[in-house]
Chains A and B, each alone.
Chain A
Amino acid sequence: MNRESLEFDVVIVGAGPAGLSAACRLMQLANEAGKSLRVCVVEKGAEIGAHIISGAVFEPTALNELFPNWKEQGAPVTVPVENDELHYLLSERRSIKAPGFLIPKPMRNEGNYVISLGRLCRWLAERAEALGAEIFTGFAAADVLYDDAGAVAGVVTGDMGVARDGSKKPNYQPGVELLAPYTIFAEGCRGHLGKRLMERFKLRQEADPQHYGIGIKEIWRIDPSHHRLGHVIHTLGWPLDNETEGGGFVYHDEGGLVSLGLIVALNYRNPYLNPFNEMQRWKHHPVVRRFLEGGTRIGYGARAVNKGGWQSVPRLSFPGGVMAGCEAGFLNPVKIKGNHTAMKTGMLAAEAVFEALQKGGVPDLDGRYRQSWVDKELFRGRNFGPALAKFGTLIGSTFIWIDQNIFRGKLPFTLHNRVPDHATLDRAANSREIDYSKPDGVLSFDRLSSVYLSNTNHEEDQPCHLVLTDPSIPIAQNLPLYDEPAQRYCPAAVYEIVEAPGQGARFQINAQNCVHCKVCDIKDPAQNITWVPPEGGGGPNYVNM
């Protein structure tokens, strides 16, 4: 096919904290060296922030390095954490507040800020553009381009105007080749190109499998009398059982808003577990509901997060490119934060690529990462995830407290969790069904009315972007073995088992609901679902998530 192509010095895939920090840092380096540099960022969201979702309590370490004068430059990082509480929820009514000394040190939030990551990304994008980078929103990087020697040569954006049956509509427009000596992949957790790169360049050979969680978040405008600016609460325990990792968060942000959500680890075992319903009932706990009564829910979203930490970091560099941020997986599971490490690894990626542009060869991001504070902090927290997975929440947390507060993460051993998250489900026959009570429409809601708040939209007449390798597996295998868990783990009700009279069960994919969380790509026990990008600009339109 004859495609248009554009040449740049660096192509960056994804305008999140990693990609945008990489763009800013590259332009800073070029401007300091008096060189001109053509940097292009492509983002599948319709605009900056449309697909950005994060808690978020933000540690400003990387921002301090990237823009030391960020306060004067008006960065939307203005609400210091004032009060930091950890509650252990014992049952649907009871809880204990953990005294400060019991909280693992890295979990404490002095000096951190409550932010909207979407807002911060818009600000970073403005900085990047002011420094001279080109950002294109509404264009998905659909595939990686390779040169004759097998090195990454850039990406191709997705075709627009393709009908459901694959035919070209009157407004068909082929994708464009974006070529560059180096490409920085920063798609976020479980990027579809990153997945292909890891296979092709065997980047995961020495790493543990990546481990994931699903984060489900809502934004509420609450009764002003319940609002405490900068107040931060984390919860452990109920509604999750001792063998299911996860926890909740409630952050009081500016504008009378509260960001709240629940993260559920995707190595859960019970196929009947429904993360969305767990989050809905979690809001009924007195620790959470006391803030929400009288309030209005205004935003909803969900996203997979990677939490494998230090043991799961793959090789980052390969001929023609590098991976940064959650694409590789730098979230610190002890701090439950990945924005600062995403930004920092984006900056390191920029430095590695800028050096390679002068010297040639494969950019040295791995070496830079190993010498950075990102490696140190992930190393210190390395036993957190495996300890919870091995010992359960109660004993695991005790171990973590000793590990983090007494030994400061320096215990002379490293725990591993080598079972990938898609392989942890018990058979449905051996599992108990979970009784989730109906949403009350006040504190708790159903999935469809929630997806409505994510402003999700996809052009209807386009090929399904959730691809089944073997279309028979959902009904032939997943249904009898696991009661097809996709019906429940998807936070947007994309997957349904529909029973038609006389025809038996049918697996229905409502792809237009998809909020691009990538959980199906991760958790499907047969690894049969592949998430590919829909037409550019499709997906959620998150507002300050």
Chain B
Amino acid sequence: MKVLVTVKRVVDYNVRIQVKPDGSGVMLDGVKMSMNPFDEIALEEAIRLKEAGKATQIVAVSIGPQAVQEQLRSALALGADRAIHIPLDAAPQPVNAARALAGLAGRENPDLILMGKQAIDDDCNQTPQMLAALLGWPQATFASKIELNDKAATVAREVDAGLEFLSVDLPAVISADLRLNVPRYPKLPDIMKARRLPIETVTPEDLGVEFVPEAKLLKVAPPPKRQAGRKVASVDELVAALRERGLLS
């Protein structure tokens, strides 16, 4: 069984995001970049499937500038067998990523596509769903447990009410939630070996897709500053203050 895992390069979760003064985006100069944590979880799941003898080949794919190869190398160090880079000047919008990945799925014929449920930079949570729709495959999102047999996967989904169990026929798109697993650390010798492995390049032309943005970014702004609070002397004063702001009737 072949598993395709998507890997996005994002600003590291520890970094305090700074918005560019002109509102065109966020500061990236000198900022630590990492593999999207949900993609790390998806990759870890693929590695565990392989270790359990259920998957035979793991292919990691990333879309973006040359720098995304760093994250592909991490994926190789962690246990991916192959890495594919789809070159693009900037990170794509979800629908474009889904189109490119659909094209790639047509070439690679994976039995399972594992993805993070969303990327922590744009928080879109759209690509897995769009990809499944474009491919006409079943999907299971927010997976916290995956059990595979030859023809289908049973997936526990994290939903508001608790867990929902789905069975999806393969091939399918499954997106990983936080509690699916705890990813392993890369080993230093494996990082070294991964530096010598090839990274395949598949261009948008090879896939017959064009990355024309479908959504227009108007502005990026930092969240409004929290106003200083004030202390109230009594419950009556608190109730009055809440009424004043229309928070109590």
Contact = CB atoms under 8 A, between A and B. Distances in A.
Contacts of A176: 187-189
Contact of B189 (A4, A255, A298): A4
Nearest to B29: A544
A173 B16 contact: no
B124 to A, nearest CB: 24
Interface in B197-233: none
A455 B15 contact: yes
A49 interface: yes
A50 B32 CA distance: 8
B185 A171 contact: yes
A543 B182 contact: no
B30 interface: yes
A521 to B, nearest CB: 24
Interface string A30-50: 000000000000000011011
A502 interface: no
Given A221-B21, A541-B12, A173 B32 contact: no
Interface in A272-286: none
Contact of A136 (B15, B16, B184, B188): B188
Contacts of A255: 29
Interface in A31-88: 46-47, 49-50
Main secondary structure of the interface of B (DSSP, over half): loop
Interface in B169-204: 182-185, 187-189, 191-192, 195
B185 A452 contact: no
A46 B185 contact: no
B31 interface: yes
B109 interface: no
Interface string B10-24: 001011101001000
A221 B20 CA distance: 11
Contacts of B183: 171
Interface in A305-352: none
Given A453-B16, A541-B12, A171 B182 contact: yes
Contacts of A501: none
Nearest to A453: B16
Contacts of A173: 184-185, 187
B16 A452 contact: yes
A161 B187 CA distance: 12
A118 interface: yes
Contacts of A269: none
A543 B14 CA distance: 12
Contacts of A160: 185
A171 to B, nearest CB: 5
A541 B30 contact: no
B192 A134 contact: yes
Contacts of B18: 298
B184 A541 contact: no
Contacts of A544: 29-30
A220 interface: no
Contact of B16 (A50, A157, A455): A455
Contacts of A178: 188
A170 interface: yes
Interface in A146-160: 157, 160
B30 A6 contact: no
Interface in A86-118: 116, 118
A47 B32 contact: yes
A457 B14 contact: yes
A139 interface: yes
Contacts of B21: 221, 256
Given A171-B184, A543-B15, A118 B32 contact: no
Contacts of B30: 49, 116, 118-119, 122, 543-544
17 contacts: A4-B189, A6-B188, A6-B189, A46-B32, A47-B32, A122-B30, A136-B188, A136-B191, A136-B192, A171-B184, A176-B187, A452-B16, A455-B16, A457-B14, A541-B14, A543-B27, A544-B29
Given A47-B32, A122-B30, A170-B182, 8 more contacts: A49-B30, A118-B30, A136-B188, A136-B192, A139-B188, A171-B183, A176-B188, A452-B16
